[in-house]
Structures are given as C-alpha cells and as structure tokens.
Amino acid sequence: MNKVILIKYGELSTKKGNRNFFINTLYRNIQSKLSKFDVRIRKDRAHMYIEFVDSDLENIKKNIDKVFGIHKYHVANIVETDYESIAANVLEVAKNSTFKTFKVETKRSDKNFPIPSLEMSQKLGGVVLRNIPNIKVDVHNPELLIQVEIREENTYVYCDSYMGAGGYPVGTQPTALLMLSGGIDSPVAGYLAMKRGIQLECVYFEAIPHTSLEARNKVIELTRKLCGYTNSINLHIVNFTKIQESIYKNCRGDYCITIMRRMMYRIMERLCTKYKGLAIVNGESVGQVASQTLNSMSVINSVTNVPVIRPVACYDKLEIMDIARKIDTYDISILPYEDCCTIFVPKHPVINPKIEIAEEEEEKFDYNDLIDEAVENLNTIKVQEIVEDYNDLL
C-alpha cells in the first residue's frame, strides 16, 4: 500500500504574512535532514507530504523529530478519492488495530467530493461497526481515532499521530552567537534558541594549558548534538589564556570573575560584528552563581549593546537538567574536565559588584591588544552531526 508522512505545521500557521517564508524554510530544512534517504517531498499551505521507502520509516521519523516547525505528523495511507476505496481502507485500518471504542473523523477540503464530512464519518463508522464485532463508537474519548482527509489529489487515512519538535524552523531568524561552555546550561540554551528559529554559531573560550583538549572535545561533542536540530554549526574557539592570566595577575581577586566575563562579552560583541550575529545567547540563570545575580549580570552586560538572550534565565537547575537529558547533552556535560570559568575561581567572588570598581580594576592593564589578538586568531571548526576527527587542530 502507498503511504506518505503527512506533516502538520506548528506555530508558523499563525504567521499570516510570513507563511510562505516559514513553509519554504521548513521545506529546505526537511529536505536537507532527509537528504540521505530516497524521499520525495511536496508542500502546500496546510501540509507537507513525504513519500518514502518503507524500510527507512523509523530512521526518517528519528530525523523528523528534530526538525523545528513541525507540530504533528502522521503516517497515512494514500487512497483514491472515491467512497468505495476510502471505506475499504478505513475498514482495513480498523481490522489491523486492537480497540474496543473508536471514532472516524473526516475533513473534506475537496468540496467537489459529494458527501459532507459529518455524513462521511457516520457512513464510515457504520462500515466499521458492521464488520467488526464487540466494538462501539465513543466520540469523546475513543481508543482508536481514524482520521480521513479528503483532498483533491488523494485522500489520506491514518490513525497514528506523532508530536513534532514544535517551535519555528531554524533559519526563520537571523544568526546569533551561542556562548558554549562544557556545562549543562549552555547547550540547553542553544537548543531553546534554535527552537525559536535562530540560526546559531557557537563560541568556546578556552585557556590551554589550564584547560585540556578533552574539555575542547567535550564542546565539539555538544555542538555535534546541537547539529541534530540543524545541519552544520560553526564552532569558534577563542584562545583566552593570555587575557585570563592578565586578569588574575592585575585585578583584585573578588572581581576576577566579573572582569573575565566582561572580557568575554567584549569579545562576543566583536564576533557578532565579524559573523553577522544579531544577538548573544548564553546559559546564564538568575542567581545560579555569584556572576549571575541580577547585580552581576547588569555590571557584566554593561560592556555591550548587543542583545543578550538567556533562554534558561528563569529555569530551575532541575528543569534545565531535564531538557539536557531529553536532548542527550547531559552525559557529555557532566564529564569532569575543567572549563576556563572553573579554573582560578576565587574563594569569595563578589556577589554585588560595583561598575566603578570593575572599571577601576580594568584600568590597571591594557587589554585591547589581547582582545584584538583573540578575535583575529580564533580557530573555526565546521561541526557536523556525523563524526569527524578534529585532533589535528592545535
């Protein structure tokens, strides 16, 4: 029997003016996600249709599950739009299912088809009732819901329903730069940003030899996990060693983290210009550590006018961990390698920093050349979902 995956759009159906742009972006994203399969994809204003080879179905579903912009999808039988064929197919679907109560629901978008939706549902329900013993109709809470969509080209019959990833298609918003550390929070922040349609590039600050190559590999692995939701992602690796050493040599201990993060933000702003990023995304969460009190955030944020999006700002750590498990980044994030934020951590970082003091401490050393150098000399890796070896990059 001929089958098709029937995709229903998510939130994008509320965006009237942008509808075509959203649908076309989703179409391209699905096309590139499924490029390794033998599929044919068609689209109209309400649905996308994917014809596939039966043996690929499970793998195709796994890929579709990571495409944002899909609300729901179904694996439907393709049936000719005439009453006899539809009735035969509905009966076959019912015979292949186990249930005590059922309901048939019809949508008739082909108004040339002579039987109205409600009457069609009743007639088809009657066919099922007459042919299968000991079952009854339950219109409110049926165990089996058989859906029939009568369209001009074909009719689609299905009884399964899979939740899509939701959100907007990646690429319906411009690029933003994600500050990606090896921790739990930032990959989750990246996932949530992509779910809003944002195209990401990632930035990782490393301080070799104080941080290890294993720490870098962890970030590459996390980027790879995020690639599951798009195609490839550029990961920019910033050498932060000299800046970090200078901060710890020249600034008072309790302000080191504040100033280190102000330097990161300054570099992020420069990278936004370089890579046309319209926003910075990071995994900061209000109150989580000394540098993420509202006071700290305000002193740190004041070095840039680029918007900073913090998708997990108001989430509890447990909520963030749940998402990390769901997107399969958790096990990578908890690997025990030092990050540049965790080395040299002062005993008592300031919780309510003053901007004047931060500025005073920064006056003690001229960081400009080091910032220029860090921006100019970064390493960029194009990370893809499939495994590649980046060990020769040093």
Would you count residue 185 as binding Mg ion (CB under 5 A)? yes
**Amino acid of residue 357:** I
Q: Which stretch binds ligand ATP (CB under 6 A): 2-10, 59-67, 177-185, 352-360?
A: 177-185
Would you count residue 191 as binding ligand ATP (CB under 6 A)? no
DSSP state of 161: -
Would you count residue 185 as binding ligand ATP (CB under 6 A)? yes
Q: Which stretch binds ligand ATP (CB under 6 A): 182-190, 228-236, 247-255, 368-376?
A: 182-190
Spell out where 169-298 has E strands.
173-179, 198-206, 233-239, 280-281
Q: Which stretch binds ligand ATP (CB under 6 A): 66-74, 92-100, 184-192, 244-252?
A: 184-192
For the bound state, the minimum distance from the C-beta of residue 91 to Mg ion, rounded and expressed in Å, comes to 56
Tell which one of 269, 339, 361, 385 touches ligand ATP (CB under 6 A): 339
Three-class SS state of 45? coil
For the bound state, the minimum distance from the C-beta of residue 250 to ligand ATP, rounded and expressed in Å, comes to 20
Between residues 40 and 348, which has the closer beta carbon with respect to ligand ATP? 348
Would you count residue 184 as binding ligand ATP (CB under 6 A)? yes
x/- mask, ligand ATP, residues 281-300, rule CB under 6 A, reads -xxx---xx-----------
For the bound state, the minimum distance from the C-beta of residue 231 to ligand ATP, rounded and expressed in Å, comes to 22
Burial (CB < 10 A; 0-12, 13-18, 19+), residue 95, is exposed
Would you count residue 223 as binding ligand ATP (CB under 6 A)? no
Residue number of the CB closest to Mg ion reads 185
- 201 near 211, Cβ under 8 Å? no
Three-class SS state of 265? helix
Of 147, 84, 78, residue with least CA distance to 115: 84
307: preceding bond cis by omega (within 30 degrees)? no
- Could you say which of ligand ATP, Mg ion, none residue 179 binds, taking C-beta under 5 to 8 angstroms by partner kind? ligand ATP
For the bound state, the minimum distance from the C-beta of residue 340 to ligand ATP, rounded and expressed in Å, comes to 5
Burial (CB < 10 A; 0-12, 13-18, 19+), residue 180, is buried
Residue with tokens 């901007």: 355
Q: For residue 299, what are its two tokens?
A: 């002193």
* Cα–Cα dist 28/162, whole Å: 21
For the bound state, the minimum distance from the C-beta of residue 393 to ligand ATP, rounded and expressed in Å, comes to 17
User: 107: which strand partners?
Assistant: 149
Give the count of residues interacting with Mg ion (CB under 5 A). 1
Q: For residue 58, what are its two tokens?
A: 């499970």
Residue with tokens 């994203």: 29
Give the count of residues interacting with ligand ATP (CB under 6 A). 18
Tell which one of 77, 181, 258, 296 touches ligand ATP (CB under 6 A): 181
Backbone phi and psi for residue 389, each to the nearest 5 degrees, phi listed first = -100, 120
- 301 near 308, Cβ under 8 Å? yes
* Cα–Cα dist 383/176, whole Å: 16
Three-class SS state of 141? coil
- Could you say which of ligand ATP, Mg ion, none residue 50 binds, taking C-beta under 5 to 8 angstroms by partner kind? none
x/- mask, Mg ion, residues 58-87, rule CB under 5 A, reads ------------------------------
For the bound state, the minimum distance from the C-beta of residue 376 to ligand ATP, rounded and expressed in Å, comes to 18
Question: Restricting to residues 54-93, which ones interact with ligand ATP according to CB under 6 A?
Answer: none
For the bound state, the minimum distance from the C-beta of residue 248 to ligand ATP, rounded and expressed in Å, comes to 15
Between residues 185 and 221, which has the closer beta carbon with respect to Mg ion? 185
For the bound state, the minimum distance from the C-beta of residue 247 to ligand ATP, rounded and expressed in Å, comes to 14
* Cα–Cα dist 6/114, whole Å: 24
Pairing of strands 47-51, 3-9: antiparallel
Would you count residue 385 as binding Mg ion (CB under 5 A)? no
Tell which one of 205, 229, 315, 330 touches ligand ATP (CB under 6 A): 205
Gyration radius (Cα) of the chain, Å:
27
Q: Which residues here bind ligand ATP, judged by CB under 6 A? A: 179-181, 183-186, 203-205, 282-284, 288-289, 339-341
